[in-house]
Chains A and B, each alone.
Chain A
Amino acid sequence: MSFAIANPQSLDTATPAVLLEVRDVAKRFGAREVLKSISLNIAPGEFLTLLGESGSGKTTLLRLIAGFEQPTAGEIWMSGERLDALPPYKRRVNTVFQNYALFPHLSVRDNVAYGLRVKSTPASEIGGRVDHALRMVKMEEFADSRPSKLSGGQQQRVALARALVNRPQLLLLDEPLSALDANLRKQMQGELKTLQRELGITFLFVTHDQDEAMALSDRIALLRGGALEQVASGREIYAHPTTAYTAQFIGQTNLLRAEVRDGVAVCGALQWPAEGESGAAVFSLRPEAIQLASAGISIPGTVHFRAAMQQQFYSGASELLEVTCAGGQLLRVRVPAQGPLFGEHDFVFAAADAIRVQE
């Protein structure tokens, strides 16, 4: 585990500075309500990811911030300035588009210089800044190529350089890696993260890929049906999901529908101590929170149960087991690679790992 990375949330509380503030923003397209009263703050230098399924409104929120759409209600502020009243070309925000949107009739160099030229930057300054931006993304040797001659990853780099050369306060990235194959994607994720840390520019990143969100972001804003489901760091969301949807969307989980009475949750043959109100409740229990146990040994605060093997999925360092316990409840268990298992086994989990979530 690494403690070297500063936690932006603690930074956030120490310095109240907010770069971007989204206040009660709603967006309708005709009768369709795409965003329902979203409020979200982004701190300077933060890497924030908007995560959600297609249709969750994440791209719409990005387009509202970029200025390609107007909010139906609410306000967007950046550095103390009302942003949503400005046309896109007056916002100190730049975007990396999903399919890069490089200008096909311009060379790589002219693509990168575009933003500086339209703002009448002195010619003497343009050359140096463009070269610097191209060096930053390691594309200087392709400066005179046309975009159509470049691979997807190279186009991606040019799109980044074209946005960053303008020194935006906020960089919006709309699923920038979704068009790349898996290996290149991993590599570009690393480069993006490094670049962001070196430049200190605030990134607002849109993706539907939860692994990508976890790997890159300081904080994740999970959207569901146009509303924010949970906003927190990846670790926080994974460890303490507030809703059943979040628990399932970020990582794998077992959702246990239990009945809580007198501080005890009962779900089929399983029972564990639980706080909170009595009545029906849903608990999230991560597969890796459950382990194989030797029979008979009981430590306080743990829950023991016997379950029968159903399926076993091997994936290298670990394997995923599907087991059914006495009540017929199906559970997924992730254990270090064991070799084939058959029949009934004893399992254990810490009661504290069963997180009560909202339905």
Chain B
Amino acid sequence: MYSRAYKTIVSLPPLLWVGVFLLLPYALMFAHSFWAVRDGTVVHQWNLNNYHTLFSKPVYLEVLLRTMRIAASVTLCSLLLGYPLAYYLSFHSGARKELLYQLVIVPLWVSYLVRGYAWKTILGSEGVLNGFLQYLHLTHEPVSFLLYSPFAVVLMLTHIYTPFVFLPIYAALEHIPRPLVEASQDLGAGSAQTFLRVIFPLSIPGLVAGATFAFVLSLGDFLAPLLVGGASSTMISNVVQSLFGAALDWPLGAAISVCIVIVIISLLFLTERLEKRWSFK
């Protein structure tokens, strides 16, 4: 069909892109994780010390576990918010559907940083929420647990990633042919049974995709802990950042990154199988 020259010209830019901006950086990161650092400079001496440090010092594993805990909480919270919202919009919002959809999407256009600082303003000891609580005379002095806690991180990330969870679920729900819902009612199923037996099973691929977004994006987040998290909620990316930055230990940072990539790739592999298992046609 197409000439060899045409095929080459068309495929070259994406291949170059993938090569220069994906494969090369990954290869460099992978190589770094097996190198050493002496007097603040990287020496190209192959060894496994970085991985040894990683698994022998409990602090890294602790942070990684905490990160996964936070990511899991964010995933759960955004599913609990995003699914009912998507369900309502897709099945029961009627003529307001388009407007509500846009309202859900609008926050995505606002800078991540702005939203982060907004939460700082809301949750801080001089913040909006504390002011409100005192105005209501529910507390007499500012409540401090709101800001600089894992709670704040989960809250902020949930706010940021709920639209990401909402979108694939909404798309999956919109794809369910409405005659299936009518067929279910026709066969004697009320709303609850129709949801459990038809709508929910058919929305699982969207649910899995949304959960994956929330989990993977939260797992790699480092701004939320910086802005609203504090020392008690340091996440794995903060560790990587400080190793590459202040500590100047690129090889150890790279080793952690390799571990994260492995965790994420296994997760994606798993979720893809799940999505396949639950998609039909």
Contacts and interface: CB of A to CB of B under 8 A. Distances in A.
Asked if A and B are interacting partners, one says: yes
Interface of A: 66-68, 87-90, 93-95, 97-99, 101-105, 114-115, 118-119, 146, 148, 162-163, 166
Given A146-B280, A148-B281, A103 B183 contact: yes
B178 to A, nearest CB: 9
Contacts of B266: none
Given A68-B182, A101-B177, A101-B182, A115 B188 contact: yes
Interface string B169-197: 00000000101101111111110010001
B31 to A, nearest CB: 46
Contacts of A99: 177, 179
A87 B191 CA distance: 11
B25 interface: no
Contact of B278 (A88, A90, A95, A105): A105
B180 A95 contact: no
A94 B179 contact: no
Interface residues of B, number: 20
A87 B187 contact: no
Given A88-B182, A103-B180, A114-B197, A119 B188 contact: yes
B25 to A, nearest CB: 41
B227 interface: no
B186 A94 contact: yes
B155 interface: no
Given A103-B198, A105-B201, A105-B280, A118 B183 contact: no
A118 B186 CA distance: 11
B199 to A, nearest CB: 11
A94 B182 CA distance: 11
B177 A94 contact: no
B202 interface: yes
Interface string B196-211: 0110011000000000
Going nearest first, the 3 A-B pairs with the smallest beta carbon separation are: A115-B187, A104-B280, A101-B179
A261 to B, nearest CB: 56
A124 to B, nearest CB: 19
Contact of B202 (A97, A104, A115, A119): A104
A104 B186 contact: no
Contacts of A163: 186-187
A166 B182 contact: no
23 contacts: A67-B185, A67-B186, A87-B190, A89-B185, A89-B188, A89-B189, A90-B188, A93-B186, A99-B177, A99-B179, A101-B177, A101-B183, A102-B183, A103-B184, A103-B198, A104-B180, A104-B281, A105-B280, A114-B184, A115-B188, A118-B184, A163-B186, A166-B187
Which of A68, A104, A146 has the largest count of B CB atoms less than 10 A from its CB? A104
Q: Is the interface of B mostly helix, strand, loop or mixed?
A: helix
Contacts of B281: 104, 148
B280 A95 contact: no
Contacts of B190: 87, 89
A99 B183 CA distance: 11
Interface in B100-142: none
Contact of B186 (A89, A103, A148): A89
Nearest to A66: B186
Given A105-B278, A105-B280, A148-B281, A118 B189 contact: yes
Interface string B149-177: 00000000000000000000000000001
Contact of B182 (A93, A97, A119, A148): A97
A118 B278 contact: no
B211 to A, nearest CB: 19
A97 B179 contact: yes
Given A88-B186, A104-B280, A118 B179 contact: no
B204 to A, nearest CB: 9
A90 B185 CA distance: 9
A97 B183 contact: yes
Contacts of B182: 66, 68, 88, 95, 97, 101
Nearest to B180: A101
B225 to A, nearest CB: 40
Given A66-B186, A89-B187, 9 more contacts: A66-B182, A97-B179, A97-B183, A99-B179, A101-B180, A104-B202, A105-B202, A115-B188, A166-B187
